[in-house]
Amino acid sequence: MADSFEFPVDRTQVMLFARSVLDINPAFVEPDSPEAKANGGLVTPPTFVQSSAHYQPDYPLDLTRPRKDAPAAARSGGGGGGLGRGLHAEQHYEYHHPIHPGDVLTVTTKPGERWEKEGRRGGKLMFSESITEYTNQDGVLCVTARSIGVQTGRAVDQ
């Protein structure tokens, strides 16, 4: 089953994100720059779509939002998996179409593949993939993000 929500792309958010990652490309902040004009207007920095977490209704790593139940990250004891044995292993992005301020993206996340591998110090390693698609208001797929998490079968031997 896929979860989805809307992510409005705001020019100020784009500017602040670009500044936070020290990216001074004029295509992100100066509408009259040759870089912006070449892209059909201002565009977002490559990993800007991660900002969509601010709009995800039950983002598990946001401990500041009021909620009825404790978020999964708090219940499991750490980021990436239960009992502090999980972590974010990889992140991949595939760019299909530019994202512009003013776009409203539909963010849809669905489970991907799962696989296992024997580890050297933590026992069995269980990998899981999550696929997130960012589609604009015209139904055009802009970005596909693939996230891979891993959880160890037991605490790592020292």
Residue 74 has pLDDT above 70, yes or no: no
Summary mean pLDDT of the chain = 86
Give the pLDDT band of residue 155 (cuts 50, 70, 90): confident
Q: What is the pTM of this model?
A: 0.82
Give the pLDDT band of residue 156 (cuts 50, 70, 90): low
pLDDT in tens, 135-147: 999 999 999 999 9
Question: Which residues share a beta bridge with 129?
Answer: 148
Amino acid 73: pLDDT: 46
For the segment(s) 3-152, the CATH number from 1.20.120.530, 3.10.129.10, 1.10.3720.10, 3.40.50.300 is 3.10.129.10
pLDDT in tens, 89-132: 899 999 999 999 999 999 999 999 999 988 777 688 899 999 99
The helix or strand, by DSSP H or E, that contains position 34, with its residue range, turns out to be helix 34-38
